[in-house]
Structure 1
Amino acid sequence: MSNRQPNAFHRAFPAREFFRGSARSVLFWSLVNGLLLILLLVDLFLIIDLLDHRGRITLRGEQNVQLLKELRTAPVSLPVENEQEEPESEPENGQADAKDNVPDGAPEAKSPQAEEAPRLEMVSLTDSGILPSVWWTYSKYQMGLLPQLYQRVPLLQENQTALFTLICFALVVASIRVLIRWRSRQKSLKISHQVSMTLRNMIHRQALRLGPGDLSGKETEQAFQLFIRDVGTVQQGVFQWVYGQSRHPVTLLILLLFTISIDWRLTLQCMIPLVAAWYFLLQHRK
């Protein structure tokens, strides 16, 4: 059982206050801000990938081409390399003359079987928007969100409109994140102001009790210093603690879950040195 006693700061604002009133709303807005950060990162990935591949995608194999047909709303046209010219059919009169020249009893010559339709074993597309990114994420992670988004939003199916749409979406998400951070900051200021007002009321009541017996005015001066200077320091500390604790841990947790969903092995390889560095930093500060 821990004998650790809370210090004056934690007595002024206990940890349980995080789940009450305005502090709970700060946690909620921090969670929304972290989710918007994930959307912004995905959007930046699509923008950078679009600038890299420029909407060009080439696939080989009948299974891959068939899967591409399912992802793409517009029909996939046959490439020029696989098109085969159909032989011109002979006139019907010529075929009739040939049949007349065949002697009786001789086996009839079998007409050549119709050639099967050529299978689409390779396809190359240009100006397909974010289709290469959609194909890569779907084939690697089997994620169905991007294919549905690509099929339902025609603006993402061409390079220019896709780039313009992604940039506008990034600006909108970034603006919303700025507004949410401002909202969280205002809520944190409100919490710190409430804590400071509570402390000042307690100091004022204590000063009134000690006032008649304070003939030298020393205790009144000390209460005045607590009322102005120390409570202001506590107010600033509560603001920094609430705003930081509700913002950074939630964001780090969401980013950790996002990286694990992408590649948990690579995430583990990166987390081991980060945790070790964090531990040594904490030991150094102690």
Structure 2
Amino acid sequence: MPAHASLRRAFPPREYVRGRSLGSALLGFAATLLLCGVLLSLYLIADLLISRGTVSAENDHLADLLVLTGQATPDEDGVVAIPDGYRMAPGDRGIAHAVWMNRDGVLGPPLAWLYRNVQTLQSNLPALATLIGAAVVLGLMRSLCLSWARLAAARAVGAAVTRLRKALHRQALRLGPSDLTEEAAKEVLGLFTVDGETLRQGLQDGVLRLGRYPAKIIVLTAFSLLVSPLMTFYIAFPLLVCWWLLRRQAVSVKLARRLATHRSDKALRLLAEGLTKARVVRGYGMEEFESDRFNTHLGRYQSDLAAANRKARLSRGLARAALVLAGAVVLGILGTKVLNTGGAFTPAHALLLLGIAFSLLRPLNELADLHRDRHAAAVAADRIYRYLNRVPEVGQAVGAKFLQPLSRTLEFDDVHYTDPRGRKLLDGVSLSLPAGQVTAIAAPESLEAKALVSLPPRFLEPQRGRVKYDGEDIAWVTLESLRAETVYVGGGDPCFTGTVRENLTGGDPEVPLSKVIDAAKTAHVHNFVQRFPQGYETVLGEFGETLTPGQLFRLGLARAVLRDPAVLIVDEPSEGLDEDSKAQLDDTFARVFPGRTVLLLPGRMTTLRRADRVVLLHRGAVEAVGPREELVQKVPLYRHWEYVRFNHFRHGTAPQPAGPSNGRPSPGSPALAGSTA
């Protein structure tokens, strides 16, 4: 699916013209109308300051002016009686000059109506104060409309992104159990946070720009045509050419800067190459060669940098020249119009047209950049939908039935599994494990062992073969009943942000506190929970108490004990356990393991020794099965696995070598295998 198709799927085009998106567009349109009001107020202020309220009407137009400003009324024959002794005051007539100058234009009637009905506009100082106040009020109302428009756009887009984040959460719960390496968990975290935010920002920008700027361009262009159609056409061409050149200059400078950065980085790497080869240079007497090479690359680096700077300066210079030329042309056109129209086109008109042109600059830039700026959002949407389109490995069969607790045997019947990267982890594994015993799974490749123990709870689905509980294929039982009887406790399982009790019960308020405390005591969780300020109501997680790796693992064991499963899978952490945690885990295992079917991925030798049997996997197949003592004696591969996994050097701290008088083996001796607790 193309990236922009994913963006349209996340926020279809119809969403731009309904609901909150439509509300955002209407608010943007209202803000544009208010901007026109601000520009009109500023035009009247400029005209008032330039004319000082003086209306220089000829005597034969005096009657027209009096009628226009509402100071006289024509009789039945259309004759206007000028009051006796009336004369035009030299000034202090408010916006009468603007009314008179626009008498033949579209703005004339509205301005005349304002002059007649707003008394404060009929004198200079009251008119100035009124116009300034109107500009401020209209500007504040425009800011409020824009703020509401952004809020409406954020809510419209937020609903769409929230739907996607909910879908990501559901998909992560479906795909997460089969993630052996936890790489997919990191991927979905990035999709949920970084890509989700990129998508939200891109969609919000799209709603705002498409809702505001096309209408703004149309309204401001229409306003400019109302002021002076001819002058609008005269100045539009040079201004558009100037804008286009400025756009080209910005793109050119950006590309030049990117190219210069790439070249300078490459040159700097060549220059720095000798810094890491001092031993070779000095050892072989290559100082002169290295110096010549360094000077050559340095000269090339400085030359490339100077060329890039010259190109950037030339591009900026051309753009500035185009800007100055366009400005001169526009000012010449407007100035000629002001001087040659006998006052019909005033300097205030010229300033109004320039203000409209300046107000059009941002909408044009924003719409021109829209496609480029939305590309990042489109790529983020594409990544999100690629993840959502993945098909989970595990699903519940139609007509699945309830599973009874395991009572006889757990069987793996010719099981094959290849991970999404094409690694064959299980290749025809066949096992029959008696219920009620502890089985340790060993494998030089740890993913093979993890894949095997992920099959009983159906975190993974075998591509071939079956897993059976008491002869019944678990592919045909309900996931709820299967996972109620098969619990996986991982060494790296985190806690949830919530109370201790919620973490143990999974948020089920029906579980009585007494049962929670009993399970916590069994796993030696009760002791450290009692030391928390609120006990079992203490919040854990990012905004609460933090736990050590040993405490986290015991919390997971207590959660499992509370559910009392028939099959318990324990992936013990191999690092991060202090001596106190190790002792408490040994006691917990002694309490939990008896009478239960346990699949064990041991992290310590003392845990491994609790197993009734060990299954050794190698290259996806069962290499050997038997008690640990027997495998140590008869299977060299097992001895190698045990030594590599449990010797002291794996932790980076070797035991102290024994003296010649104590008769102990040296640190490198295989006799050390299994010496770690």
Quote the residue 2:156 is aligned against: 191
Matched, 1:65 2:65: no
Whether the 8 Å contact between 1:58 and 1:124 is mirrored in structure 2 is no
Structure 1 residues 142, 168: CA separation in 2 closer, same or farther (over 3 Å shift)?
Answer: closer
Specify the alignment match of 1:128 in structure 2: 93
**Structure 1 match to 2:9:** 11
Deviations 1:134-158 (A, max 9, x none): 0001145573111111111111111
Residues 196 and 259 of structure 1: is their aligned pair in 2 closer, same or farther, counting only changes over 3 Å? same
- Return the offset for 1:265: 2.4
Q: 1:77: how far off?
A: 5.2
Alignment of 1:229 with 2:194, yes or no, is yes
Distance (Å, rounded) in 1 between the aligned partners of 2:155 and 2:130: 38
Correspondence list, 1:78-97, <5 A: none
Measure how far apart 1:276 and its partner are.
4.5
Match of 1:52 in 2: 50
Residue of 37, 40, 43 corresponding to 1:39: 37
What corresponds to 1:220 in structure 2? 185
Write the distance in 1 (CA, Å) between the matches of 2:90 and 2:106.
Answer: 22
Change over 3 Å in CA distance of 1:270–1:238 after alignment to 2: same
**Contact kept? 1:192, 1:235, Cα under 8 Å:** yes
SS at match of 1:59: coil
Q: Deviations over 1:103-141 (max 9, x none)?
A: xxxxxxxxxxxxxxxxxxx85542111101100011455
User: 2: distance between equivalents of 1:169 and 1:258?
Assistant: 19
- Shift of the 77–57 alpha-carbon distance from structure 1 to 2, 3 Å rule, reads farther
Question: Which is greater in Rg?
Answer: 2
Residue 278 and residue 127 in structure 1: after superposition, are their counterparts in 2 closer, same or farther (change >3 A)? closer
Q: Name the % identity.
A: 30
Q: Structure 2 matches for 1:1-286, cutoff 5 A? A: 6-62=4-60, 64-74=61-71, 123=88, 125-141=90-106, 143-276=108-241, 281=247
> What is the alpha-carbon distance in structure 1 between the residues aligned to residue 107 and residue 98 of structure 2?
13
More strand by share: 2
Structure 1's 245 and 68: CA in aligned 2 closer, same or farther, altered over 3 A?
Answer: same
Aligned to 2:287: none
Alpha-carbon separation, structure 2, partners of 1:238 and 1:223 = 20
Query: How much does 1:161 deviate?
Result: 1.1
What is the CA-CA distance between 1:271 and the residue it aligns to? 2.6
Bigger relative contact order (CA 8 A; separation at least 6) = 1
Superposition misfits of 4+ residues, deviation over 3 angstroms:
4-7, 73-80, 122-125, 139-142, 273-286
Provide the rounded CA distance (Å) in 2 between the counterparts of 1:189 and 1:23. Answer: 9
Deviations 1:10-53 (A, max 9, x none): 32223321111100000100111111111111111111111111
Given that residues 60 and 123 in structure 1 are in contact (C-alpha distance below 8 angstroms), is that contact kept between their aligned partners in structure 2?
no
Distance 1:139 1:28 in 2: 32
CA 1:141/1:219 → structure 2, altered by over 3 Å: closer, same or farther? closer
Within 2, Cα distance between the matches of 1:245 and 1:47?
33
**Equivalent in the alignment of 1:103:** none
Q: Is the 8 A contact 1:78 1:123 kept in 2?
A: no
- Tell whether the 8 Å contact from 2:55 to 2:100 is kept in structure 1 after alignment: no
**What is the one-letter code of the residue matched to 1:215?**
L
**What residue ranges of structure 1 are gaps of 5+ in the alignment?**
81-121
CA contact (8 A) 1:156 1:162 kept: yes
Kindly state the Cα deviation for residue 277 of structure 1 after the two structures are TM-superposed.
5.3
Residue identity opposite 2:162 in structure 1:
M
State how far apart, in whole Å, the 1-side matches of 2:50 and 2:239 are: 30
Cα distance 1:218–1:201, how it changes in 2: closer, same or farther (>3 A)?
same
**Distance in 1 between residues matched to 2:212 and 2:107, nearest whole Å:** 31
The structure that is helix-richer by fraction is 1
Distance 1:246 1:30 in 2: 7
Tell me, yes or no, if the aligned pair for 2:28 and 2:149 is still in contact at 8 Å. Answer: yes
Please give the alpha-carbon distance, in whole angstroms, between the structure 1 residues aligned to 2:145 and 2:52: 34
- Give SS of 1:58's match: coil
RMSD over aligned CA atoms reads 2.6
Q: Output the amino acid matched with 2:21.
A: A
What CA distance in whole angstroms lies between the structure 1 residues aligned with 2:129 and 2:32?
24
Query: 1:118 corresponds to which residue?
Result: none
Q: Is the 8 A contact 2:92 2:124 kept in 1?
A: yes
Task: Give me the whole-angstrom Cα distance separating, in 2, the residues matched to 1:266 and 1:252.
Answer: 17
User: Structure 1's 72 and 268: CA in aligned 2 closer, same or farther, altered over 3 A?
Assistant: closer
- State the TM-score, normalizing by the size of structure 1: 0.75
